[in-house]
Amino acid sequence: MPAAVPSRASGRKRDPVTRLAANLMQVEAWARKGKVDRARDMLQACKILHLPAVPEELREPWERRIRLLDERLPETSWDPSGPSSPDAPHTRRQERTRPTPTSTDVVAAESVAVRSPVWERLARALDDRRTEAATLTISEFQARFDYVAAESGVQVWATLRNAPRAAWSAHHESRFIREARAIAPSALGLVPVHTAPDVDASAWLLVWAFTSIPDARVAVKSQFLEASPDTAPELKVERHPVAAVAEFDRAVERLGSRQYRPGQGRKRFAVTSCARCGQPLSDPNSLILGIGPDCLKYFDPTVLVAAKQWKPGSVRAVGRTINNFLAAVTGDW
């Protein structure tokens, strides 16, 4: 008997945030049509089933949206002055005493910092390979993003100045922060972080290491929203003085990431075709970079050297050394 073929729909799984957003839109649609009972049932399902599946770092705005919908929805669509028997015919609906919530109302109720376009500009700046550093500032609280070459590859390091006390222990519960360190005011070096400093914590710098740019943005954004939900931060971006560094970074990543392709389990297989002409490779020296001997002349020697040093966990090819990073973050931002 042939094995059952899974349906196309069964293989499609939406992420928890998308599923929750779609269900909340259905709640608003049913509320606009007067189907309050259905909207109430769907809203209850969102609370019990869909909201707990959303990552904790992204849950706060969705909890606020559900709370606003819960407050605005009527308790029932049946007229209390009509027949009380469930079998009696329903003649007219209850008059609405409050407006039906819409997506515009929910957006208007969000804080100024959440709706600020600075987060979109920050995402574009961090994805731009010409960016050397980006800084967010609200009053005395600052966060700086740098690309630092570590042992496992180039990572995103977020440095917090005048960080809230809760930020010093956030790495214990965060799924995004890979490592937390601190820079003492009188020493040029990194020390491990366990708790907030007992004396003069404002003079210390808190450093978070990330292996993904979106992870860094989410973790830092949550700290700014908690510190000042009604004020949007200011963004300052530092570009690399050499414009060609972006193309160099792309070329190194394009060659370096081709050295090995994912296999099954922990296995990795060498690339067996040339990166330029696509011809199969047989020479052992050519398999190191995935470039044939006749095509090496078309590549910059500095790109080839950097591609040999590429590490799979890097977010980009070019990053600051730790000494350069310490010199940059201990000065004026």
pLDDT exceeds 50 at position 80: no
Task: Please state, as a whole number, how many other Cβ atoms lie within 10 Å of the Cβ of residue 144.
Answer: 23
Confidence bin at 218 (pLDDT 50/70/90):
very high
**Per-residue pLDDT at 9:** 44
pLDDT value at 166 more than 60: yes
CB-based contacts of 66, cutoff 8 Å, min separation 6? 24, 43, 46, 47, 51
Q: Where are the domains of the chain?
A: 16-79+99-109, 118-241+319-329, 258-308
Closest alpha carbon to 295 in 310, 275, 280 = 275
- Would you say residue 193 has pLDDT above 90? no
Helix (H, G, I), strand (E, B) or coil at 78: strand
**Mean pLDDT, rounded, for 81-100:** 50
pLDDT digits (tens, 9 = 90+) for 7-51: 444 445 667 888 888 888 888 888 888 788 888 888 888 888 878
Q: Binning pLDDT at 50, 70 and 90, where does residue 211 land?
A: very high
More confidently predicted of 76 and 251: 251
- Kindly report the number of other CB atoms within 10 A of residue 196's CB atom: 16
Q: For residue 286, what pLDDT band results from cuts at 50, 70 and 90?
A: confident
126, pLDDT greater than 50: yes
Residue 191 sits at φ, ψ, to 5 deg, of -125, 150
Write out pLDDT tens, residues 234-255.
Answer: 999 999 877 788 888 888 888 8
Burial of 182 (0-12, 13-18, 19+ CB in 10 A): buried
Distance separating alpha carbons of residues 187 and 184, to the nearest angstrom = 5
Predicted model pTM: 0.61
Helix (H, G, I), strand (E, B) or coil at 174: coil
1 pLDDT higher than 50:
no
Instruction: Give the type of residue at 204.
Output: W
DSSP H or E run through 308:
helix 301-308
